[in-house]
Amino acid sequence: MARFIGRRLLHFIPVLFVVVTLTFFLVRLAPGGPFDAEKARSEEALAQIERVYNLDAPLHRQYLDYLAGLIHGDLGPSLQKPERTVTEWILLRLPVSLELGVYALVVALGIGLTAGVIAALRPNTFTDHAPMSFAMVGICIPNFVLGPVLVLVFALWLGWFGVEGWGAASEKVLPSITLGATYAAYIARMTRGSMLEVLSQDFIRTARAKGLSEARVVLRHGLRGGLQPVVAFLGPAAAGLLSGSFVVERIFQVPGLGQEFVMAARNRDYTMVMGTVLFFAVLIMLFNLFVDIAQAWMDPRIRHERA
Amino acid sequence: MIGMSRQGVWNAAAAAMALALALGAGCSKTETPAVRAAREGVLLVGNGAEPQALDPHLVTGVPEHRIATALFEGLCDLDPATLEAVPAVAESWAVSDDGCVYTFTLRPDAKWSNGDAVTADDFAYAWERILSPALASEYAYMLHCIKNAKAFNEGELDAFGQVGVRVVDARTLEVTLEEPTPYFLEMQIHYTWFPLHRATIEQFGGMTERGTKWTRPGNLVGNGAFTLERWEPNRVLRVVKNDHYWNADAVRLSAVEFHPIEDTLTEERSFRTGNLHLTENVPISKIEGYQRDTPGLIRIDPYYGSYYYRLNVTRPPFDDVRVRRAFAMAVDRDTLVARVVRAGRRPAGNLTPPDPSGYTCAASIPYDVEAARALLAEAGYPNGEGFPPTELLYNTSENHKLIAEAVQQMWKDNLNVHVALLNQDWKVYLSSMSTLDYQMARSAWIGDFVDPINFLECFVTGGGNNRTGWASPAYDALIGEARRTLDAGQRMAVLEKAERVLLDEAPIIPVYFYTRVFLIAPELRGVESNLLGYINFKRLWFEPEARAEG
């Protein structure tokens, strides 16, 4: 197992190198620069500020300088928000994104697994169709619709939860549900599908024949196999929850990393784009690694193949 | 094991629900944050975007301006009702006969938030800093009206001593300008002119070092009516009353909280649930509802900004002035503003927004379909026949799109010309404009200070804000003449002549004049209507009983 993890970690290096290189040149190819503004800067003013941030050097020089900085862990200052470095901005925003992501994941798993298992128990009956139709709706409603609707009902009409912000507990409920809902729907459908397959297999019949209680058969024996695809989905989902929460962060004014990421790209804040992309790349790779480890633990077949 | 954890999840969720219910019910039914804050004299402001920085020399936007005016104070302030310069750090000033030399006398009791006295040297230091090429301040050009400031800023002069700023003594500052600048005093409320505390800046880095820690809470020393208490990026920035401020007795608010909320719909919801006293904006779709149901909560003030279309005169078909005029005259601004733009905005037949206490341009481009069709025919396109493919560029936004579609239809109906619409992302759009890679483009200008020259000088030949390729020696000469003219009435007449030239040649098509639309809590007082949208926090107060009456 240690060798497996070590080898995977080594693979990170070339992947990150490709990500850095691609991002660096792609963001420079986009028209417009960080200091273009509605009120034009004079050529002298632009030249001054480009000199300060080393943007006047030839592109390959800037690239090599960036790589050199990166090796020392230096992501540079943000061009748009110069009073903090990119690293500081990421560290400032990360806890909020993590918190939101974890809550959303709890929502997604809680609702998704329950609905999926219930649906799989009696396929093609009401207890199957009801949660599955609900899941279909969840997948179809985009979060920029779901968010404001939830706010309207639970915050403005009922006054139960906060409208925006990320301080009191009451402000964290609606963004977590909004962000988790889509994933809950996917997880429900996925759980149902794989549970149906697992529950029809021989070892389940054996378990039932042994006289185990239905709850034990389903939760202990069924779910362990049925969760396989869900776990595989969790890697990219977790990364998506952390990086793709821009819309939810904006609707609820949550100070997370997703906003930083999207605004940096929009503002051509080169250093911030590089920093956040790199950070998310590492995150996605790590989550995929965790998923592989979890799957190996859950399924002996994978464990043997890889060893 | 999985069963267990699921149980745990449900317990946690139920607990969270119950807690949220208790909290939510607790604050919404009894007292909203806005009501409580008003009682404590704390103003909750929706401030648009998150500030880029707090260093007044590194910022360029309106949200930053609001915060800077709370933390710092310049030589003069503006009366928020009349926009006239009133004494601030300077208790008095004298102007030489040629209008080029200003001598300010600083008040003896002006203090920094750490108790140090504010001296003339603090202004000279700040101005040297912002003009230093090594700092690369993007807004340094605001100070270019000072003698030799431009040369120093662009690196042609090495010694700041040659720039027209002289510290006579600790309480006397003499400023020599390149040319008479009638709006010089009014400009002093702009953050680029504020003094800075030398010792603080140099404690955390060099004078021209960008992004040092001197602006962090606890470090920042200002001379404004408020001082920085905390800044949690993208959550809240809180300033509290500065007891060292020279006029602290007159300041009635105990604190101001700036909430960065970019999404106008979110901001409106936040106001509605009692989390803000003042918003930055109002979603257009909500304006009429407020006007109808709760007119006391919404304000629509005239604003010193213009919305217009630029025409690229370096490329056919808009290299022909007749085509440009025809397009400008075929836009029915009254209908457009009444049906599409709304928000109390006013149709614009010229560039400079009207100023009831100053310059209002008498000339305007008329809505005249007959004349427009005749001009187009004269240019070789009778009834729009043979007109080349044309595109109108706008930056991606629902409002710009709606307006562009309406104008597109007017040109189709009135001139029988089809104009395609093209939208680009903000930075791409800016790049297209500055490289003249467009035919027609949506544009806007918001005045930095109330003087028509701020609008008109954009269109001098080769100016960075011209972006149309238009060049007129007659126009340049008039702008130059206005700069040299001392008599206010005569100067305005020259500027009006210049604006007439601009409208005759029509490198732009004016569309509407902006308004500033915002929501305001009934108990908040002292928010005056002015063209700059200038909010003077020193003069605001609450009357908590007003909400009960309303």
Residue A285 located in a structural domain: yes
Sort out which chain B residues have CB atoms less than 8 A from A89's CB and list them: 233
Alpha helices in B485-531 (DSSP H): 488-505
**Quick one: A177 and A261 in the same domain?**
yes
Statement: residue B22 has pLDDT above 50: no
Q: What is the pLDDT of residues B381-406, one digit of tens each?
A: 999 999 999 999 999 888 999 999 99
Residue for token pair 């009696």: A122
DSSP state for residue B338 in the 8-state scheme: I
ipTM: 0.84
CA distance B156 to A44: 11
Amino acid in position B367: Y
**Quick one: A287 and A171 in the same domain?**
yes
Q: What is the pLDDT of residues B143-199, one digit of tens each?
A: 999 999 999 999 999 999 999 999 999 999 999 999 999 999 999 999 999 999 999
CA distance A223 to A190: 12
Residue A61: give the domain boundaries: 31-76
Statement: residue A163 has pLDDT above 90: no
**Quick one: A125 and A258 in the same domain?**
yes
Q: What pLDDT, on a 0 to 100 scale, did the predictor assign at position B14? A: 46
Q: Choose from A170, A187, A217, A252 for mutation: most chain B CBs within 10 A.
A: A170
CA distance B356 to B527: 19
CA distance A181 to A142: 10
Measure CB to CB from residue B24 to each of A32, A114, A161 and give the nearest one: A161
- Two structure tokens written together for B381: 């396109």
**Quick one: A148 and A267 in the same domain?**
yes
Chains A, B: CB contacts within 8 A come to: 175
Q: For B488-511, what is the mean pLDDT? A: 96
A31 CB within 8 Å of a chain B CB: yes
Sort out which chain A residues have CB atoms less than 8 A from B426's CB and list them: 32, 266
- Specify burial of residue A28 (Cβ count, 10 A radius: 0-12, 13-18, 19+): middle
Q: Which residue from A minimizes the CA distance to B464? A: A40
CA distance A300 to B502: 80
Q: Choose from B1, B11, B28 for mutation: most chain A CBs within 10 A.
A: B28
Sort out which chain A residues have CB atoms less than 8 A from B140's CB and list them: 45
Q: For A34-58, what is the mean pLDDT? A: 88
Q: Supply angle C-alpha A27, A33, A36, rounded to 5.
A: 155
Statement: residue B18 has pLDDT above 50: no
Asked whether the beta carbons of residue A39 and residue B155 sit closer than 8 angstroms, the reply is no
Statement: residue B550 has pLDDT above 60: no
Sort out which chain A residues have CB atoms less than 8 A from B266's CB and list them: 163-164, 250-253
Task: Count CB atoms within 10 A of the CB of residue A104.
Answer: 27
Measure CB to CB from residue A32 to each of B13, B210, B430 and give the nearest one: B430
Sort out which chain A residues have CB atoms less than 8 A from B18's CB and list them: none
- Two structure tokens written together for A296: 């190996």
Q: Are B35 and B547 in contact (CB under 8 A)?
A: yes
**Quick one: A175 and A261 in the same domain?**
yes
**Quick one: A259 and A144 in the same domain?**
yes
Distance from CA of B285 to the nearest CA of A (A): 15
pLDDT category, B547, cuts 50, 70, 90?
A: low
Higher pLDDT, B504 or A143: B504
> In Å, how far are A65, B442, B520, B533 from B517, measured between CA atoms?
47, 21, 10, 10
CA distance A28 to B184: 40
Q: Are B84 and B70 in contact (CB under 8 A)?
A: no
**Quick one: A63 and A112 in the same domain?**
no
Q: What is the pLDDT of residues A172-190, one digit of tens each?
A: 999 999 999 888 888 998 8
Ramachandran area for residue A115 (φ above 0: left; ψ -120 to 50: alpha; else beta): alpha
Residue A10 located in a structural domain: no
pLDDT category, B506, cuts 50, 70, 90?
A: very high
Q: Are B114 and B221 in contact (CB under 8 A)?
A: yes
β-strands B90-95, B101-106: how paired? antiparallel
Asked whether the beta carbons of residue B266 and residue A161 sit closer than 8 angstroms, the reply is no
Backbone angles phi, psi at A4, to 5 degrees: -60, -45
Tell me the sheet residues that pair with B542. B524
- The average confidence (pLDDT) of chain B is 91
Statement: residue B417 has pLDDT above 80: yes
Q: What pLDDT, on a 0 to 100 scale, did the predictor assign at position B23? A: 45
Three-class DSSP category at A266: helix
Rg (Cα) of chain A, in Å, rounded? 24
Q: Which residue from B minimizes the CA distance to A267? A: B427
CATH code of B305-515, in short, is 3.10.105.10
Domain B62-211, CATH homologous superfamily name and number: Dipeptide-binding Protein; Domain 1 (3.90.76.10)
Residue A259 located in a structural domain: yes
**H/E/C letters for each residue in B66-127?**
HHHHHHCCCCEEECCCCCCEEECCEEEEEECCCCCEEEEEECCCCECCCCCECCHHHHHHHH
Q: Are B100 and B176 in contact (CB under 8 A)?
A: yes
A202 CB within 8 Å of a chain B CB: no
Measure CB to CB from residue B24 to each of A160, A220, A259 and give the nearest one: A160
A35 CB within 8 Å of a chain B CB: yes
- Two structure tokens written together for A187: 């997880």
Backbone angles phi, psi at B44, to 5 degrees: -105, 110
- The average confidence (pLDDT) of chain A is 86
Residue A21 located in a structural domain: no
**Quick one: A230 and A191 in the same domain?**
yes
Q: Which residue from A minimizes the CA distance to B64? A: A81
Three-class DSSP category at B173: strand
β strands within B242-377, DSSP E = 255-259, 298-311, 346-347
Sort out which chain B residues have CB atoms less than 8 A from A81's CB and list them: 50, 52-53
Residue A57 located in a structural domain: yes
**H/E/C letters for each residue in B25-66?**
HHHHHCCCHHHHHHHCCEEEEECCCCCCCCCCCCCCCHHHHH
pLDDT category, B5, cuts 50, 70, 90?
A: very low
Q: What is the pLDDT of residues B306-315, one digit of tens each?
A: 999 999 999 9
**Quick one: A48 and A106 in the same domain?**
no
Q: Choose from A80, A83, A214 for mutation: most chain B CBs within 10 A.
A: A83
Asked whether the beta carbons of residue B24 and residue A159 sit closer than 8 angstroms, the reply is yes
Q: Choose from B427, B443, B449, B465 for mutation: most chain A CBs within 10 A.
A: B427
Q: For B112-135, what is the mean pLDDT? A: 96
Q: What is the pLDDT of residues A200-241, one digit of tens each?
A: 888 888 888 888 888 888 887 888 778 888 888 888 788 788
- Two structure tokens written together for A163: 């409208």
- Domain ranges for chain B: 12-50+225-293+520-549, 62-211, 305-515
Nearest Cα neighbor of B223 from B258, B190, B196, B191 is: B196
pLDDT category, A306, cuts 50, 70, 90?
A: low
**Quick one: A269 and A125 in the same domain?**
yes
Please count the structural domains in chain A: 2
β-strands B419-424, B390-395: how paired? parallel
Interfacial A residues in 248-267 facing B (CB < 8 Å): 250-253, 255, 259, 266-267
Statement: residue B549 has pLDDT above 60: no
Q: Are B83 and B534 in contact (CB under 8 A)?
A: yes
Statement: residue A87 has pLDDT above 60: yes
**Quick one: A70 and A162 in the same domain?**
no
- Two structure tokens written together for B269: 């919801």
Higher pLDDT, B258 or A248: B258
Q: For B482-506, what is the mean pLDDT? A: 95
Higher pLDDT, B14 or A199: A199
> Among the listed ranges A90-94, B27-31, B335-339, B454-458, which one has the minimum average pLDDT value?
B27-31
Measure CB to CB from residue B20 to each of A160, A253, A268 and give the nearest one: A160
Alpha carbon B369 to its chain's center:
35
Residue A240 located in a structural domain: yes
For the entire predicted model, the pTM comes to 0.88
> Among the listed ranges A62-66, A207-211, A272-276, B340-344, which one has the minimum average pLDDT value?
A207-211
> Among the listed ranges A48-52, B71-75, B507-511, which one has the minimum average pLDDT value?
A48-52
Statement: residue B219 has pLDDT above 90: yes
A29 CB within 8 Å of a chain B CB: no
DSSP state for residue B433 in the 8-state scheme: H
Statement: residue B11 has pLDDT above 60: no
Distance from CA of B324 to the nearest CA of A (A): 23
Q: For B18-29, what is the mean pLDDT? A: 44
CA distance A276 to B63: 25
Q: For A279-285, what is the mean pLDDT? A: 88
**Residue B394: enclosing H or E segment and its boundaries?**
strand B390-395
Q: What pLDDT, on a 0 to 100 scale, did the predictor assign at position A290? A: 86
Amino acid in position B222: G
Sort out which chain A residues have CB atoms less than 8 A from B310's CB and list them: none
Statement: residue A244 has pLDDT above 90: no
Q: In sequence order, what are the residues at sequence separation of 6 or more whose Cβ sits closer than 8 angstroms to the Cβ of residue B449?
A: B183, B186, B187, B190, B532
Q: Are B267 and B49 in contact (CB under 8 A)?
A: no
Residue A24 located in a structural domain: no
Q: For A249-259, what is the mean pLDDT? A: 87
Q: CATH code at A104?
A: 1.10.3720.10
Q: What is the pLDDT of residues B437-483, one digit of tens each?
A: 999 999 999 998 999 999 999 999 988 899 999 999 999 999 999 99
CA distance A172 to A152: 15
Q: What pLDDT, on a 0 to 100 scale, did the predictor assign at position A304? A: 61
Alpha helices in B211-338 (DSSP H): 264-272, 284-293, 321-329, 333-336
**Quick one: A149 and A261 in the same domain?**
yes
Q: In sequence order, what are the residues at sequence separation of 6 or more whose Cβ sits closer than 8 angstroms to the Cβ of residue B214?
A: B55, B200, B201, B203, B204, B205, B220
A13 CB within 8 Å of a chain B CB: no
* Residue-by-residue DSSP string for B398-411: HHHHHHHHHHHHHH
Backbone angles phi, psi at A50, to 5 degrees: -70, -35
Asked whether the beta carbons of residue A39 and residue B431 sit closer than 8 angstroms, the reply is no
Residue A282 located in a structural domain: yes
Three-class DSSP category at B133: coil
CATH code of B12-50+225-293+520-549, in short, is 3.40.190.10
